[in-house]
Amino acid sequence: MTKEELSNIILPRHIGIIMDGNGRWAKQRGLKRSEGHKEGAKVFRAICDYAAEIGIECLTFYAFSTENWKRPADEVEAIMNLFRDYLFEAQEREEENDAKGMRIRYIGDRNALPEDIVNLISQLEAHSAEKNHITVNLAVNYGGRDEILHSVKEIATKVAAGELNPEDITLKNIDENLYTAGQPDPDLIIRPSGEYRLSNFLIWQAAYSEFWFSDILWPDFTSDDLDKAIIDYSKRNRRFGGV
């Protein structure tokens, strides 16, 4: 997208992306599903860099859901190894990411993740915590319903401790205990691969999100496709229940 085009449209502050279609991409080429995930990881990196370049404030990528543990063990292992590769690479690219002002965050339940991955996540988050040009959330072992349950438990703990009265609970209390607390809700959610559902992704935050679907499989997704989604978004009239 050119600077002139950027100046003429309203950019979404926060974009959520469901990275779907890696397995089908590989199957179409007679490859193992893990090869599709490898290609999808390359696209993830490219879209992160491009979004930072054009001025997107937040990106949230759906990488691994709470339901994905049901997949074959070798595929789950391959995905976990890709996370490790990305984390090690992110450490090697610290100076580059710093220059882009990229803050990296992981959202989801870390309890089921391998200990070494959790440690790498913590290191990367701590290092990038003060960056403020773009926040990249990677949803790992994430589920929207699980996130809401997590928030409710945090609130219940405060009620049990006498720190909060039940009648004083507001929507803000739930927001403040979500994994995305402090970030704007997603303005735009993109799902490639021909599926037309959220699949338990940011279901609280997506109450007023705009959606953009396409038949493109994630490994084939490019910055041009992101441009199309953003331009389409900019033409929509968002009323938030008003007139």
Q: Which residues are catalytic, by number?
A: 20, 68
Exposure b/e, 126-156, CB count within 10 A at least 16 = b: ebbeebeebbbbbbbbbbbebbeebbeeebe
Q: Which of 144, 141, 110, 111 is nearest to 124 (CA)?
A: 110
Handedness of CA 209, 210, 216, 222 (dihedral sign): negative
* Cα–Cα distance for residue pair 23/40, rounded to 1 Å: 10
* Cα–Cα distance for residue pair 165/207, rounded to 1 Å: 26
| 69: its two tokens | 């543990």
